[in-house]
């Protein structure tokens, strides 16, 4: 059963990396509509969708961990979720419209709604992250999405 948990966590990390990589390509895609088909509303907001996907995946992971009696891992995933929420709120409190956080074992990726983050902005965001998680500067990646 341990192999299944490790495999599930690795799959979750790969999916998160794919989502983050996809961010760079999302703004360049042009919608295609078939003749006679009416366009629908724009896709869901990136940040709302990312948080939903992250939370859904984490919920599945926690359920699997609970089924296998791995309470320490459940506690760790719960801690990551709490840290992500606090960090997202604090980043928004600094004046950024939105943010999404992904924390896993020994790393964290944070996407902030901004255009043209300066080195000072990134340092300020990293300070928030480091102060509210067990991550250090080398374990944190901050990127922007507009």
Q: What is the pLDDT of residues 29-51, one digit of tens each?
A: 343 333 443 333 343 489 999 99
Q: How does pLDDT run across 81-139, given as a tens digit for each residue?
A: 999 999 999 999 999 999 999 999 999 999 999 999 999 999 999 999 999 999 999 99
Per-residue confidence (pLDDT) for residue 42, from 0 to 100: 40
Check if the beta carbon of residue 144 is closer than 8 Å to that of residue 23.
Answer: no
pLDDT at 12: 53
pLDDT band at 141 (very low <50, low <70, confident <90, very high): very high
- DSSP label at 102? E
Phi then psi for residue 116, to 5 deg, are 80, 55
Structure letter (DSSP) for residue 39: P
- Summarize the confidence of residues 11-16 as an average pLDDT: 50
Helix (H, G, I), strand (E, B) or coil at 13: helix
pLDDT of residue 146: 83
Q: Does domain 2-25+44-145 have CATH number 3.40.50.300?
A: no
Of 50, 120, 138, residue with least CA distance to 88: 50
Tokens of 79: 């801690």
């Amino acid at each position: 059963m341990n192999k299944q948990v490790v495999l599930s966590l690795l799959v979750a990390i790969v999916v998160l990396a794919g989502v983050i990589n996809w961010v760079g390509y999302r703004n360049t895609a042009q919608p295609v509509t078939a003749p006679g088909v009416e366009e629908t509303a724009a896709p869901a907001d990136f940040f709302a969708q990312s948080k939903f996907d992250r939370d859904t995946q984490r919920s599945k992971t926690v359920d699997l961990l609970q089924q296998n009696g791995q309470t320490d891992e459940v506690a760790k995933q719960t801690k990551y979720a709490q840290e992500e929420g606090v960090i997202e709120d604090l980043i928004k409190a600094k004046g950024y419209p939105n943010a999404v956080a992904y924390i896993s074992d020994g790393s964290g990726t944070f996407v902030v709604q901004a255009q043209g983050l300066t080195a000072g902005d990134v340092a300020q965001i990293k300070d928030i992250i480091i102060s509210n998680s067990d991550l250090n500067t080398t374990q944190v990646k901050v990127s922007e999405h507009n």
